[in-house]
Amino acid sequence: MTTVIAGRELRFERAGRLRWHERAVPELRAPTDALVRPFLAGRCDGDTLPIHRPVSRALQAGLALGVVDPVVGRICGPVPFRGPVPIGHECVAEVVELGSEVTGLEIGQRVIVPWAVSCGTCPRCARGLTSTCDRAGGPLAAFGFGPSCGPWGGMVADTVRVPYAAHMLVPVPPGVPAERVAAASDNLADAWRAVVPALADRPGGSVLVLGGGACSIGLYAAGFAVAHGAAVVDYVDRSAARRAIAESFGARVPARPEPPDRGYDVVVEAASTAAGLRTGLRAAAPGAVCTAVGYYLATGTRVPLMHMYATDVTLHLGVSHVRALLPELLEFVRRTGFPAERVTTVTADWDDAPSAYATRTTKLVLRRDPVSTG
């Protein structure tokens, strides 16, 4: 007879309601697996979509009518966000158990767990497209998105099983406070890819960030843009509190919620709206790149293609390939002390996750004491 040890996992039940659920503690299933214990968990900006608005029925209807893209059904299931589903896909964790073939990691080590599962060796992973790994399975293989995205569960859990652990788990560099990289699994890395490569190709370029939808991503992006030598960073958002954070990073923060100029070399659309997408594209300079980090669920999102043609503007959007860019991002944070924790507006006790995870705030981080001294 085997004894099943129960553990806790945070699950989304319906808009405004999350609860702890009991589940069997995960065990190693392959010699390449690891078990980790998350001790910091960030709330991804995208997780607020079903929590703060009852979108499940509307999405179900939208899928049936063909006005919501069918890929939403493949990722979230035919009834999107029907609870209870495990939630949470940003964490810093400590390693508690390693499969026999996992090299390069130690028990107690502090690691970032990327939101998407990847193997590290398939052709897609080799190209840096780790969030669309060939071997991970499904339309997306990820933590905290429910059963359509695999058996991985959420990261707000006692214990998490991580496959391909030697590749997946990226150690927090020595000297970097874990709180600083609480969102490195997803939102911090998403901001990095939206700004840093585009600015590297356009040194000293000007940057516009439309914030307020993907709340934390926009702020991280503004901070990264300033830290990477942008000539100007304009951060646009209706929230005075978020404008203050952006300003503290060195961005300009016009009071009116619209771009004060035209002709930005790099645009980050983090308002997460179709209108934001159009505003961002029309504010872009010839040869600019606009990266959109939100969810644009509709099949009929209007995009000003003729304007883009005339100005040679590139629209970039897609899942962020966090695992591929984590080494560069973490080394930057280690070297510069980039204060990403400034974006965290609420740090809550782990035990309070059910109420805290529903808080209307820019960036929530859950915290409990690590077991090891790190």
Angle (nearest 5°) at CA 264 between 217 and 340: 25
CB of 369 vs Zn ion, minimal distance in Å: 25
We find the least distance from the C-beta atom of residue 177 to Zn ion, in angstroms, to be 22
- At 212 the three-state DSSP class reads coil
Alpha helices by DSSP H, listed for the chain, are 48-52, 56-65, 70-76, 123-126, 165-168, 187-201, 215-227, 240-248, 274-282, 305-311, 322-336, 353-356
Is there a cis peptide before residue 84, judged by omega within 30 degrees of 0? yes
Taking CB under 5 A as the criterion, the residue among 98, 102, 111, 133 binding Zn ion is 133
- Which residue lies nearer to Zn ion by CB, 44 or 169? 44
Q: Residue 219 to residues 245, 327, 338: CA-CA distances in angstroms?
A: 7, 21, 12
**Using CB under 5 A, which of 7, 42, 46, 154 touches Zn ion?**
46
Q: What whole-number distance in Å separates Cα of residue 374 and Cα of residue 372?
A: 5
Q: Listing from the earlier edge strand, what are the strands of the sheet with 85-86? A: 17-24, 6-14, 85-86
Identity (one letter) of the amino acid at 281? Answer: L
Q: How far is the CB of 326 from Zn ion (least distance, A)?
A: 15
Of the two residues 46 and 99, which places its CB atom closer to Zn ion in the complex? 46
In the range 135-154, which residues lie near Zn ion by CB under 5 A?
135
Of residues 111 and 324, the one with the C-beta less far from Zn ion:
324
Judged by CB under 5 A, the chain residues 68 through 127 that form the site for Zn ion are 118-119, 122, 125
Question: Taking the complex as a whole, how short is the minimal distance between the CB of residue 225 and Zn ion, in angstroms?
Answer: 21
Q: How far apart are CA 100 and CA 98, in angstroms?
A: 6
> Count of residues for the chain?
374
Q: Which of 44, 267, 324, 329 binds Zn ion (CB under 5 A)?
A: 44
By the rule CB under 5 A, 270 interacts with Zn ion = no
Which residues are 348's β-sheet partners? 366
Rounded to a whole number of angstroms, the minimum distance from the CB of residue 118 to Zn ion is: 5
- Render the burial of 332-346: b for 16+ CB within 10 Å, e for the rest: bbbeeebebbbbbbe
The least CB distance from residue 355 to Zn ion, in Å, is 21
Q: Hey, which residues between 157 and 196 contact Zn ion (CB under 5 A)?
A: 186
DSSP 157: B
Nearer to Zn ion, 117 or 285 (CB): 117
Give 206 or 362: the residue with its C-beta nearer to Zn ion: 362
Nearer to Zn ion, 123 or 374 (CB): 123
Min CB(125)–Zn ion separation in Å: 3
- The residue ranges that bind Zn ion (CB under 5 A) are 44, 46, 118-119, 122, 125, 133, 135, 186
